[in-house]
Amino acid sequence: MRFALMSEPQQGLSYEELLALARTAEAAGFETFFRSDHYTSFPGEAGLPTTDAWTTLAGLARETDQIGLGVLVSPVTFRPPGQLVKVVTTVDEMSGGRVELGLGAGWNEREHAEYGLPFPDLRTRFDMLEEQLEIVHGLWTEPAGWSFEGRFWQIRGARLVPRPVARPGRRHPNLIVGGEGKPRTARLAARWADEFNVSSTDPAGVRAGCERVMAACEAIGRDPGSMVRSAMVGVLVAPTEREVGQRVASLLRMLGRDVAGAEAWLAERRPRWIIGTPDQALEQVARYEAAGAQRIMLQDLLPRDLEMVRELGELLGLQRG
C-alpha cells in the first residue's frame, strides 16, 4: 500500500503553515503531499484566509526535496486548460518532475460566486471536463502543431515548451480523475487518467467504484492493470483512546460542532475513515487494501497537528531510509 497526505488549506492555513505541513509529511515518509483547490474557507469557520493551490505548490516545489506534490482536485471552472497545462508544467519543472494533477468538474457554487467565476450546470461542467482532459493530455503528449476543435476550447498549432520532466515509468505528470465510478466518470477515467480516486466512502464503495472503472477500461481495450486505484479517506489517529478523544474534540471545535456529540460523530465515520488507535487504524487500512485500493490519500482535517502526521509516518512504516 502507498500513502499520501491530503490537506485542506482553505481551513485558514497561511503559506508558512502549509510549508510546515508539507515538510513534516516529507520527513514522515509520505510519497506525495496533496492539497485541495478552493478559494473559500470550509469546513468550519467561514471567511478564513485561503491561498491559491498552484501558486503555493510552486513555492513548495522549491522548499521540499523528495515528496511528490499534487492537487486534488483542480475544478474545470477555475482555469482554462491551456493555462492550467502551462502552470502545472512549470511547477513540474520547478520540482524536478514531482507533480501530480487531479481534475474534476467542481462543486462549490459559493466560491464561484465570490470570485466571479462562471458555474454552469453539472452536465455542462462534465462536458467541459471531457474537453479539458483531452486538451491536457494532448498538450503533454502530441507533437508540436497539434490542434483540437471543441465546443468550449480550440487549440491551433500548439507548441508546449518545455514539456513535463521525463521520468521513468510515466508518460506525463500523474493525471487523476475521481468520483464514484458512475458511467461518465468511469469512461473519462478509462480514456484519459493514470489513476482513479474514490473519495469519502467505505471499502465496499471503493471496491464498487474501482470495479466499474476497470470494466470501462476493458470496454475500450485498455489494460485495467495500467490504472492505479486509490481512495481519499479521512484520518484521525492517536496512540491511545484518550488521545483519540482529544483529537476528535479538537476537530469538532474546529467544525463548530458540539463536543458532547463526539460519540455519534465517531460512530458515523468509523466505517469510512481511518480512525482510532494504531491497531484500529491498521485494520481499516487492511480493509481498503482488500477492496482494491493501491494508494490511500489520508485526508487530514487537523493540519496544524503536526504530531499526528509524524505518528502516522511511524504507524505506517513510511520513514525514508
Tens of pLDDT along 181-201?
889 999 999 999 999 999 989
Residue 284 exposure: Cα atoms within 13 Å on the Cβ side: 24
Range with the poorest average pLDDT among 96-110, 201-215, 256-270: 256-270
Q: ∠ at Cα 43 (276, 184), nearest 5°?
A: 90
| Per-domain boundaries in the chain | 2-240+273-316
Which residue has 511547477 as its cell numbers?
A: 91
CA distance readout (Å), 178 to 44, 106, 198, 210, 213: 24, 11, 6, 10, 10
Query: Is the confidence at residue 321, as pLDDT, over 60?
Result: no
Q: 2-240+273-316 has which fold?
A: TIM Barrel (3.20.20)
The C-alpha atoms of residue 15 and residue 92 are separated, in whole angstroms, by 19
Q: Is 158 exposed, middle or buried (0-12, 13-18, 19+ CB in 10 A)?
A: middle
Q: Is the separation of the CB atoms in 217 and 227 below 8 Å? A: yes
Range with the poorest average pLDDT among 47-61, 99-113, 252-266: 252-266
Kind of pairing between the strands at 68-75 and 32-35: parallel
The three-state secondary structure class of 177 is strand
CA 19 and chain centroid, separation: 17
* Proportion of the chain above pLDDT 90, given as a percent: 88
* pLDDT for res 225: 95
* pLDDT for res 195: 98
The C-alpha atoms of residue 27 and residue 67 are separated, in whole angstroms, by 9
Q: Within 10 A of 78 (CB to CB), how many other CB atoms are there? A: 19
Position 282 confidence tier, pLDDT thresholds 50, 70, 90: very high
* pLDDT for res 119: 97
* pLDDT for res 152: 98
Q: Report the candidate in 91, 59, 74 with the shortest Cα–Cα distance to residue 164.
A: 91
Position 275 confidence tier, pLDDT thresholds 50, 70, 90: very high
E-assigned strands of the chain? 2-7, 32-35, 68-75, 99-104, 146-149, 154-158, 174-178, 195-199, 228-237, 273-276, 295-300
Query: Is the confidence at residue 57, as pLDDT, over 80?
Result: yes
* pLDDT for res 293: 97
Q: Is the separation of the CB atoms in 22 and 71 below 8 Å? A: no
* pLDDT for res 319: 73
* pLDDT for res 200: 86
Q: ∠ at Cα 160 (157, 161), nearest 5°?
A: 135
Interval 215-229 mean pLDDT: 97
Position 157 confidence tier, pLDDT thresholds 50, 70, 90: very high
* pLDDT for res 320: 58
Query: Is the confidence at residue 134, as pLDDT, over 90?
Result: yes
For residue 162, whether the previous peptide bond is cis, meaning omega lies within 30 degrees of 0, is yes
Q: Is the separation of the CB atoms in 35 and 57 below 8 Å? A: yes
